[in-house]
Amino acid sequence: MTPTRFRYFQPTELIFGAGSLDRTGEMVAKHGSRCLIVSGPARHAFVDIYRRVKASLDEHGIAYEHFDGVVPNPTTDCVTEGATLARSFAADVVLGVGGGSSMDVAKAIAVEAVHDGSAWDYLFFRDTQPTERTLPIVTITTTSGTGSQVTQVAVISNPRESTKSALYHELLYPRTSIIDPELVESAPKDVTATTGFDIFCHAFESYIHVGNAPYTDLMALEAMRLVAAYLPRAVQDGGDKEARERLAWADTLAGLCIANTGVTLPHGIAMTIGG
């Protein structure tokens, strides 16, 4: 029998459950007093979320600026715009609110705002890597699928090079992640379905990865089971609170898996198609 050896690492504090959004100020205050909120534009479903986030920050005496220029498949230009605001505001903590794009941009801003050059200069395969100056990151996820709230990865695109790539560093793990299943209830059916498949793919790719381990296998199998059991219900009825909660947990489990094992070929293909 071959001895089992593996490393598992996860430094992110998880605040999970309905109503957790209202603890935003409490969580951000652990890491700073000048917060850059990073999100997409304020669509109808998000207006109340942003209002509650800002009210909670106000309650805890935290100054903030709001960068709402995140776009799907975020670009280096988007990151630089946010990092410029972070520097001018002297932000000492970055709060990503939204799906994977918003959380990934928050991570990249946390690097670019305090380092020379752009975030693109710190991709995972380069000699130059982020330092301890990287701003602390807090995330609030509004989808169940990307797992970015518990990973050390930020995926961005460089339109000048027609390339999509990633920053990958332990300093990009969020210090705290707020996972409030109620925030996902307004997601339309197509978003619910596609992000649900994303959960399953993360878990499956982790399970078959050469870097898998008994601990990640447990989480991957549970995540796949939860998706199979609850994704059809959530697609059928977006207000099904039990289904939304179970998928939010599956998303978290799958994210914890890939943060420790990595992903496989489907993600590489998707990066090319999506870039």
Neighbours of 73 (CB within 10 A): 15
pLDDT given at position 1: 52
Per-residue pLDDT for 12 more than 70? Answer: yes
Query: Architecture of 13-184 per CATH?
Result: 3-Layer(aba) Sandwich (3.40)
How do strand 93-98 and strand 153-158 relate by DSSP bridges?
unpaired
Check: pTM over 0.75? Answer yes or no: yes
pLDDT band of residue 43 (cuts 50, 70, 90) is confident
* pLDDT averaged over every residue in the chain: 96
pLDDT digits (tens, 9 = 90+) for 65-121: 999 999 999 999 999 999 999 999 999 999 999 999 999 999 999 999 999 999 999
CA 79 to chain CA mean position, Å: 15
pLDDT digits (tens, 9 = 90+) for 161-200: 988 999 999 999 999 999 999 999 999 999 999 999 999 9
pLDDT given at position 275: 62
pLDDT given at position 274: 67
Provide the residue ranges of all domains of the chain, joining segments of one domain with +.
13-184, 189-274
Measured distance CA(196)–CA(246) in Å, rounded = 11
93 phi/psi in degrees, rounded to 5: -155, 145
Written as six digits, the tokens of 143 are 């989808």
Per-residue pLDDT for 240 more than 70? Answer: yes
pLDDT band of residue 271 (cuts 50, 70, 90) is confident
Per-residue pLDDT for 2 more than 70? Answer: no
Q: Which of 93-97, 121-125, 233-237 has the lowest mean pLDDT?
A: 121-125
65: amino acid identity, one letter: E
CATH class of 189-274: mainly alpha
15 phi/psi in degrees, rounded to 5: -115, 105
As beta bridge partners, residue 252 has none
